[in-house]
Each structure stands twice: as C-alpha cells, then as structure tokens.
Structure 1
Amino acid sequence: MTHATTGLGRATKTLLALTCLATSMGASMGATAAQWPDKPITIIVGYAPGGANDVIARFLAEKLQPVLKQTVIVENRAGVASIIGAQAVARAKPDGYTLLMGASGPMVFNHALYSKLPYKPTDFAPISLTGTFPLVLIANKDDPARNVKELVEASIRHPERSNYGASAASFQLITELFNEATGAKFSHIGYKGSMESVTAVMSKTVSMTIIDAGPAATGINSGKAKPLAVTSAERMKQYPDVPTMKELGIDATITLWSGLFAPANTPPEIVKRLHAEVERIAATPEARQRLESLGVTPVASSSPAQFSDQIDSEIVRWKEAARRSGVKAD
C-alpha cells in the first residue's frame, strides 16, 4: 500500500511537471509571437535573381520593412526545380523569421513530377497568394521560324538539335505537354532560374523556352529574343500581336502564381499579421503598376485557407496531367 501511494505520488508530480512545462512553453510561444519581429526576417527564393518570384519577393521586402520596423532580406538559394530553397524553409524554425516566396513549381508541380522530395505540402503554412502570371514562348530573334507552327516543324525535322530550357517543374511539365499536343521534339535542359533559360535562348544554347513574362520581357526588349505565343486566356497587352496558345489550337491556357509561405506550426498570430500586410501591399496602385509592367497581376484577396485549398486542388490536377502524359523529373 505504501509502495502504491509512493508510485501515485511520483506519477502525479510528473504529470504536474509536464503540465507546467506545456503551460510555460505555450506562454513562451505566445510572448515570442507578441514580440515578433525583433530581428531581421529572411525571405528565401529558390531561384536565381531575375524571375517573377525574385521580383515579387524584393518588392514585398521593400514594402514590409517600414511597417514591420525590421530589415527584410531576400536570399536566393537557387537549385533545379527550387527544391533547395523549399527544403530550407520546410526545415527552418517556425518563428516567423524564415519565409519562402514559393511558386507553383516547387509547391505544386514538383509533387506531380518527382517521386521523392525532401519536403511535403504539410511542411508549410501558406500565408498569401501574391501574384499570378502567364507564360510566354520565346525563341531566338534570328531563328528562321516565324511562328509556333514553323518552330514545331523545325523540331520535328531536326530533333537532335531542338531543345528547351526550364528552371522549374512547372515549366518542364507545361513544355512537355506542349510537345505532346503539337508533336514537337524539344528536349529538356535544366537551369537554376528563369533568366538563365532566357539567356540560353538569347545565346542560341537552346531553341526555345516557355517562361514567366517578366524574364521573357528582358530577352524580348534586348532584341535577342522574340515572342511566339502566350499562355494567357487573352492576348497580353504588352504583346498585342502575339497569339494565345488557345488561338493556335493548343490546349495550354495556363496561369502560374507566386505566394508567401512560412514553415508549418508558425504561430497563427504571425501568419495573420503577415497576411494582412501582404494583402495591403498588393492592393496598392504602386504594386499594380510595378508588377503589371512585368506581366504579373497582384492578388490582394486570398486568405491562408483559400490559398491552401487552391494548392491542394492544383496538386491533384497536375499529378493527373503528369500521369496521363508519362512525364517524370526523376
């Protein structure tokens, strides 16, 4: 009886200790969230500088600094398919100081194309969709093909020297579906950023790329690349003479996106604060002017829950598209 009482006493003490610890940890996390931010914040971009993701991240960093009263750093961790950057944030401490400017590629398309990834959708807390953008098919300015039809025909005649650049799973899968729809024979060459793919087109290293509109504009404006088609539902106002894929009879009406993420289990107060600030910034005339000039449409009305639901539905859609086409990245 004495032994039983002693065991019960120890168990009770242990339970009380654990309860106190949990209460203390909860209070500590609450205090930490209340004090946030009290040091610099890093937004990781999984691509080389110059792409839509990078541009949006830098614009947000610039506008977040004065309202958060902290330095906001953009860090490019470039790697094929943005896996390195996404993995870094998935493994980061969920304290609001390490964020990801994630795109459709690593957050949706990678799950459709890679059988194994070092992160899962549940490793992230979606904060806000920030911008959407169509893609532009560009070729070298001196390429004899005057339109998509002639470019495709050239690839069929000479598959051994026909290729495309892609820095993300999204661009790769979309281009492979383009190959399937048109009979084209372009082979994939991987790059670490959209601007690298554009530079490869400009230098004639690759035959073409289907890329986000901002980097595409750099090549086009340089006079070394030409646009042949866009994936938007309607012609882009920047390129009124360039047909949509739909006009050409190609089923490739596609808009991609960029959004802000935190590691899973980031305190909800921090996610809520960041969402409110991003939403406010995206609604400003300056955001519309600066981002639309790059072919990006700011999004100012996407809650974390809506963003999460969108990601889940898109993963299902593109997994099915990859399965039907047989496209795999590994």
Structure 2
Amino acid sequence: MPAFDSRRRQLTLAALAATLPAAGPARADTYPSRAITLVVPWPAGGSTDRHLRALAEIASKHLGQPIIINNQPGGGGTNGPGNLGLQGRPDGYTIAQYPMGMLRIPHMQKTAWHPINDFSFILGVTGYSFGFVVRADSPYKTFKDYIEAARKAPGKIDFGSTGTGTSPHLLIEEVSDAAGVQLNHIPFKGNADQMQALLGGHVMAASDATGWDKFVDAGQMRLLVSFGDQRMKRYPNVPTAKELGYNVVANSPYGLVGPKGMDPAVVKTLHDAFRKAMDDPQHLAVLDQLNQPVWYKNSADYAAWARETLVKERKLIERLDLLAK
C-alpha cells in the first residue's frame, strides 16, 4: 500500500474512533451526559421511596439530567445495593441507597459483596424514625398490652418488619429480649407490602419507619410506641421505648453509594448536587412529614462512619445471638 494511502487510512480510523463512546469510568468534564439511575431497595410507595423520589427530583435539576428511580426490594434492603457493588459500572450512572442492613447482614449470613470495599460512598442524608403500629381495631391499646399478650402466649404473638436484619426487626428483638418474651417475626420486602398485610389482618403488628403515618392519621392504625430519643413532634402523646423502660433508641442512618472505583470528581459532582437538594425547602418539608432528621455526612466522613458502624453492629448481632454460624 502506498505510504500516502496508509497515512490517510490511519487518519480515517482515528477520526472514526473519536466519534465512539469511551469505555470505562465517566469523564468528570462531561459527566453527567445522560440519565442517572437511583436504586431504591424497597417497594414503591413506602417511606424510603417517598423520600428518595422527592430528593432525586430536586437533585436532577442541579445535575441537568433526570434521575430514574429503580425499585429493587428484597434481602432486607441489601439486594439492590449489593448487586450494584458486585456488578455495577463505576461510571456514576447507577447509584443506590445504602441502608443499615448493609452493615448487619454480612454478620448474619455470607454475602458475595463486601459492605465497605465494594462501594464508593457519596454522602449521608438522613435517618429513619421508627414506630410500632397495630390496626385501629386491635385489642392492644398500649405497647404494654402487646407485651403482656406475648408473655401469656410465647411465640404466638407476631409482628412484621421490613426484613430480617433491618432496624425495624432488630429493635423489636432488643425489646423482646429485655422484656423476656418470645415474639414471632414475619419479614416483608418493605413498608408498602407490610402495611397492606397489617390492614388485611395477616399480621398482628408492624415495626417500621414512618411509612405508617398516613394510616395512623387516617384512623386505620394505632401507634403504640416510637423509638427515638424523644417523642415524635407529630405524635406527642405516644411514648418512646426509653420512657417505657426499654433502653432501645434507633434512627438507622442512610445515604447514597456507587460501585467501587468511581472517579473522585464524579463522586464530588453527585455529592454537591444531592447536598444542595438536601437543603431545598421542598426536601426539608418531606423529611418533616416523615419525621426524619437531616443527617449530612460528606463522602469521606460517610465512609469512615460505615467502617466504624460495621464493627459496632457485630456486637449487637452477637448479643442477639444472630451471628452466622
């Protein structure tokens, strides 16, 4: 082939290559150039789904691209982020909520993902407010009534939660351990299916974050106890577990993560957009509706908190005799 033709062919191939999308991590100077997916590891319609849809809509305006919610329930909130940690591309176009179960389930069973090493931590956002509800026509008028019923019928009194190893599950395990009663735990995929099961009479009570608020407000459910350090502003007549003599206080913080290996500049772009969204009055109004506090942590502090909490949670799992055998 003549040298001129060879040179022209090389230039043509180089020009063609320049038009093709680059492989590997996203470039910070062009990110984001398309829609971002946010994995919510709970069913649609629950409290977490309500919160993150609102936050994502505001953050999308700062990013200049839509954020699509992808509900992936199961595994006590660990299936969605766990799959992302194992298989996700570190390009910033798929991120996930990171619930407390991610720091507990690995102590309770073998997982294919590592709760720290397989993730890029973006920012901490908020924490749940938990409560224990029964149907409005339940014979249990107080939490004491419920515990006394369990004392008289060991293993016959049940409660639902959003999954084995979740905060709603473990805080009731702590209470039952302190009260010396045996309860029957029934796990659900998330808030939405658990609330329907309670309304349908398929479970006697439910431990959950404030996704029950609309049912309590509508007079369909009764809130027996909450698990914050203080009474809920929205339900000032409902006692805390601490007031009732149980040393159980929980808020179960959560934030957002991506797969390991993300470009720090892309992480910063996501962090900054969601940080601005957190301060938006619309977002603060949603948190107020859900009785959830702001729990902001930057990327480095969030990762450090996760490492420390992984160690602390092992002690809780061990005390409740739930460690993997």
Is the TM value for this pair above 0.5?
yes
| Matched residues, number | 300
Q: Which amino acid aligns with 1:206?
A: V
1:192-211 alignment runs, 5 A limit: 192-211=189-208
- Aligned pairs for 1:88-103 within 5 A: 88-90=83-85, 91-103=87-99
Matches for 1:234-245 after TM superposition, within 5 Å: 234-245=230-241
Q: CA deviation at 1:320?
A: 0.5
Q: Pick from 27, 33, 38: which aligns with 2:33?
A: 38
1:243 positional shift: 0.3
Q: Report the CA distance shift for 1:89/1:167 in structure 2 as closer, same or farther (over 3 A).
A: same
For 2:308 and 2:26, locate their aligned partners in 1 and report how far apart those are by CA, in whole Å.
35
Which residue of structure 1 lines up, in the alignment, with residue 227 of structure 2? Answer: 231
For the residue of structure 2 that corresponds to 1:55, the secondary structure is helix
Letter in 2 for 1:323: E
Contact 1:80 1:191 in 2 (8 A): no
User: How far has the Cα of 1:185 moved from its partner?
Assistant: 2.2
Aligned to 2:176: 179
Separation (CA, whole Å) in 2 of partners of 1:156 and 1:216: 26
Give the distance between the partners of 2:110 and 2:286, measured in 1 at CA.
Answer: 37
Give me the whole-angstrom Cα distance separating, in 2, the residues matched to 1:150 and 1:30.
56
Answer 1 or 2: which has greater helix percent. Answer: 1
Deviation at 1:231, TM superposition (A): 0.6
Distance 1:82 1:329, change over 3 A: farther
Displacement after TM superposition at 1:155 (Å): 1.6
Q: Say whether the 8 Å CA contact 1:111–1:319 is kept in structure 2.
A: no
User: Quick check: 1:167–1:193 contact (8 Å CA) kept in 2?
Assistant: yes
Normalized against structure 2, the TM-score is what?
0.87
The alpha-carbon distance between structure 1 residues 28 and 325, as it changes in their structure 2 partners (threshold 3 A), is closer
Equivalent pair of 1:322/1:328 in contact (CA under 8 Å): yes
Distance 1:31 1:259, change over 3 A: closer
Structure 2 segments unaligned to the other structure (5+ residues) = 1-21
Q: Provide the residue aligned with 1:13 in structure 2.
A: none
Partner residue in 2 for 1:17: none
Residue of structure 1 in register with 2:311 after alignment: 316
The answer for the alignment partner of 1:48 in structure 2 is 43
Partners of 1:28 and 1:329 in 2: how far apart?
40
Whole-angstrom CA distance in 2 between matches of 1:51 and 1:181: 29
Relative distance call for 1:204 and 1:295 in structure 2 (3 A) is: same
Distance 2:294 2:136 in 1: 30
Q: 1:329 deviation in Å?
A: 7.7
Contact 2:129 2:209 in 1 (8 A): yes
Conserved in 2, the CA contact under 8 Å of 1:152 and 1:185? no
C-alpha change, 1:163 and 1:31, in structure 2 (3 Å) is: closer
Of the structure 1 ranges 239-248 and 273-282, higher mean CA displacement relative to structure 2 is found in 273-282
Give 1:255's aligned residue.
251
Structure 1 Cα separation of the partners of residues 196 and 175 of structure 2:
21
Following the alignment from structure 1 to structure 2, what is the Cα–Cα distance between the partners of residues 263 and 66?
23
Runs of 4+ in 1 over 3 A off after TM superposition: 27-31
Q: What displacement does 1:80 show? A: 3.0
Q: Secondary structure at the match of 2:129?
A: strand
Q: Letter of the 1:98 partner, please give it.
A: T
Matches within 5 A, 1:221-300: 221-299=217-295
- The corresponding residue for 1:155 is 150
Partner deviation per Cα, 1:151-190 (whole Å, 9 max, x = no partner): 0011222235311111232222222112101123221111
**Equivalent residue number for residue 122 of structure 2:** 127
Is the CA contact (8 Å cut-off) linking 2:25 and 2:90 kept in structure 1?
no
Match of 1:164, SS state, is strand
Question: How far, CA to CA, are the matches of 1:189 and 1:161 in structure 2?
Answer: 12
What root-mean-square deviation, in Å, do the aligned CA atoms of Structure 1 and Structure 2 show?
A: 1.9
Cα distance in 1, alignment partners of residues 185 and 51 from structure 2: 27
> Which residue matches 1:81?
76
Deviations 1:282-318 (A, max 9, x none): 122222112211112233x411111112112222122
| Unmatched tracts of structure 1, length 5 or more | 1-26
Contact kept? 2:127, 2:292, Cα under 8 Å: yes
